[in-house]
Structure 1
Amino acid sequence: MIGETPATTRTAPGQGLTWSLRGRGPGDVPVLADRVPPGGRPAGTATGRGVRVCVVDSGVERDHPLVGPLAGSWVVVKDGESGEITVEPTTTGDTCGHGTACAGIVRRTAPDCEIHSVRVLGERFSGTGDILMAGLRWAVEQRFDVVNLSLSTTRTRFAQELHKLADSAYFARTAIVASAHNTPVESFPWRFASVISVGSHQEDDPALHLYNPDPPVEFFGPGQNVTVPWLGGRTIRTTGNSFATPYVAGLCARVLSAHPRMTAFQLKNALYLSAANVRHAPRPSTAAGDIRDDPEN
């Protein structure tokens, strides 16, 4: 751009972001990468082992038989006088069942992943945008591999900050898997391209996800009349985008357990390639002969 000072590299202060590679070549920035699995699906032996999933929700009931042990549990607390917001360890469990349901679906999909909980909702599903923001920011700062967010806010004053946070997670290889609102209203952060946004489908197959060719919702997972764990060691049947989201989060955990170097955009591509409605057209022939798809790509 006009007026720029020549430099071999340009870096944002304190962030280590390189804006230019002048004077440097491919050999100066080597990257060890994992390929996307053929068809986008990990091998059957990929069970989420070694992957850290954080459920930002209403908490998770400890030792629910369909959830199992938690690796960590925290709560976002706002001081009534000073307004200061902190994230603290907790043993209080779940306030309304929603987080336990989401954690159970993650566990069912990726049984060997490590599940953490951050409570941002109170009783009767009550919550505020600043508490949600603080919990999500904390989860991103901890560099969890996958964050399940079956929540959103309609408050536009949080949109810009949420967008910036979602981008930070994307570049740090933390996949935020966010639920679309159940009604056609403007809400965030599922609207952002840097997150993996999820709605629900009504197919009978509980292990099927679909790609949406008309975003902003990118994927549909099983979320209609599904059985989920609930408070008191019980289960219930329920419906909503909230419950399709942890299925996709669990799929992400499975892919990452087999391909831990994958970036966030590779992970999206894996979900796209493995969606039940995506058909892979053959490449056209050329004068040099048929060009076949490379199963490694």
Structure 2
Amino acid sequence: MDTVRFLKRLNDEIGSSAPSSRRLIIRFENSQAFAACMNEWNRRKHVWTHLTGIQPLPIINGISISCAMEAKRQLLAFPFIADVETDTKKRLQLGYQPNMSSHPASSRRPPVSPHIPWGVNQIRAPQAWRRATGHNVRVGVIDTGIDPSHPDLRRCIGRGINLVNRSIPPLDDNGHGTHIAGTIAGAGLQQNGVIGVAPRATIHAVKAFDSNGSAYVSDIIAGIDWCVQNDLDIINMSFGMKSYNKSLELAVLNAFRSGKIIVASSGNDGRRSFIDYPARFPQVISVGATTRANKVAPFTNRGRRIDIFAPGENVYSAWLHGKYHELSGTSMATSHVSGVVALLLSVRPGLRTPQVKELLRRTSVMFEDSKKAGVTAGRIHARRAVAELLRGG
């Protein structure tokens, strides 16, 4: 296996082209080829100065590196290279848009009842807390980071990683990740605070998105890899993308095979026959959004590929600098579902994705106008799901 010649070719290709924000994801045929290349790189990276930016992606036996797409044909000529994909930085749909009732929350717009937001109440999470609170369940939130100083999050934050800038902690500079974490596991420790669906779960910030909500697909893959390597139970992915990516699918598939439960948002385009990736992958629990009135939200994507619906309209949750915010979108719905999954895993550790999907569907509440709304899944019901599991379901 001529890994030396491959790395030299890659080094030369990068050195001969102008600096670019484009990156490539390069996948090897198998783990042996990947390991051999990484060993050679570690041995000689002081010689190949253009390869210092290699990001290993063990979960897909691949690497990511800044390199012009023109190099693809040359790199594919090596027999141990399985594929080369473009890894451009692009704006991913993080789950809300300005015209979706997204505005700052204040003391004039408190939760429906003290500390418990309307969505947490609506899915009947408080009625499940006597039996399940998410204790000892670890949730990875691949997002914009989390504000660890927030009063409602200080006690639930575990170790994380910053894939945008590995030299600093995964601090949130956008707000979206903090909002998601509050819905999953907020502790409600101040006057206008929020209690999340699983208030005793542990949240691990995996910062793959920058302050503008942009990310490389390779950083998302690296985030999935980190969650697997650190043996987290749930991976919350409150974002979506329209285009298919083979490397992302492989990362999701390998995380699924390792027993991780991935929950992802379906998207906010109001489409009836398409949902975003990664929610579109069958190994993922795909989530659509509902309104306060228990209706299918007009902005949510829907159709037979949705596994479950959850509150996603004007969701009140934690924000940066100890504040709170209302956002709408399938991102918010996804965090409710991750919270319920944490409740279930605290009752029965080791549940796998197919078991959780089946249980959530079986205990869901169906919409009265399902056919008209174009949906086949129901609304999540935390109390029913926990009770059914305790009965041996």
Task: Write the distance in 2 (CA, Å) between the matches of 1:222 and 1:250.
Answer: 12
- Name the residue aligned to 2:160: 73
Give the fraction of aligned pairs with identical amino acids, expressed as a percent. Answer: 30
Matched, 1:113 2:201: yes
**1:95·1:121 contact (CA, 8 Å) conserved in 2?**
no
Provide, for residues 234-293 of structure 1, a one-character-per-residue CA deviation record: whole Å limited to 9, x for no partner: 1111100011101100100000000013222111122112212299xxxxxxxxxxxxxx
**2: distance between equivalents of 1:67 and 1:272?**
30
> Residue in 1 aligned with 2:139?
53
Partner of 1:128: 216
Q: Which residue of 2 aligns with 1:27?
A: none
Is the Cα–Cα contact under 8 Å of residues 42 and 258 in structure 1 kept in the other structure?
no
- Per the TM alignment, residue 213 of structure 1 is displaced from its structure 2 partner at its CA by 9.4
Pairing of 1:164-243 with structure 2 (within 5 A): 164-183=250-269, 184=271, 187-204=276-293, 214-243=303-332
The two structures have a TM-score, normalised by structure 2, of: 0.53
In 1, are the aligned partners of 2:341 and 2:356 still within 8 Å (CA)?
yes
Residues 1-297 of structure 1: pairs in structure 2 closer than 5 A: 44-69=130-155, 70-77=157-164, 88=166, 90-107=168-185, 108-156=196-244, 158=245, 160-183=246-269, 184=271, 187-204=276-293, 214-277=303-366, 296-297=392-393
CA contact (8 A) 1:129 1:153 kept: no
CA distance in 2, matches of 1:229, 1:133: 26
How many angstroms apart in 2 are the aligned matches of 1:68 and 1:244? 23
SS of residue matched to 2:306: coil
Pair 13,228 (structure 1): closer, same or farther in 2 beyond 3 Å: closer
Q: CA deviation at 1:133?
A: 2.1
- Stretches of structure 1 that go unaligned for 5 or more consecutive residues are 1-11, 15-40, 79-87, 206-211, 280-294
2:264·2:285 contact (CA, 8 Å) conserved in 1?
Answer: yes
Greater share of residues in helix? 2
Q: For residues 289 and 275 of structure 2, what CA distance do their matches in structure 1 show?
A: 17
How many matched pairs?
A: 228
Higher relative contact order (CA 8 A, sep 6+): 1
Verify the 8 A CA contact 1:151 1:242 in the aligned structure 2. Answer: yes
What is the CA-CA distance between 1:90 and the residue it aligns to? 3.7
CA–CA distance in structure 1, aligned partners of residues 137 and 304 of structure 2: 28
- Measure the CA separation in 1 of the matches of 2:266 and 2:303: 14
CA contact (8 A) 2:164 2:207 kept: no
The letter of the residue matching 1:203 is R
Judge conservation of contact 2:275–2:302 (CA < 8 Å) in 1.
Answer: no
Q: Distance in 2 between matches of 1:262 and 1:240?
A: 27
C-alpha distance in structure 2 between counterparts of 1:239 and 1:77, whole Å: 26
What amino acid is aligned across from residue 281 of structure 2 in structure 1?
F
Provide closer, same or farther for how the CA distance between residues 204 and 263 of structure 1 changes in structure 2, counting only shifts above 3 A: same
Cα distance in structure 1, aligned partners of 2:361 and 2:226: 28
TM-score (norm 1): 0.70
Give per-residue Cα distances to partners, 1:87-141, cap 9 Å, x unaligned.
x474351010000000000010101111101101111212222222222232233
- The Cα of 1:227 is off from its aligned counterpart by 0.5
Deviation at residue 170 of structure 1 after TM alignment: 1.8
* Equivalent AA in structure 2 for residue 61 of structure 1: D
Counterpart secondary structure, 1:72? coil
AA of the residue aligned to 1:97: G
| Greater shift in the superposed pair: 69-78 or 268-277 | 69-78
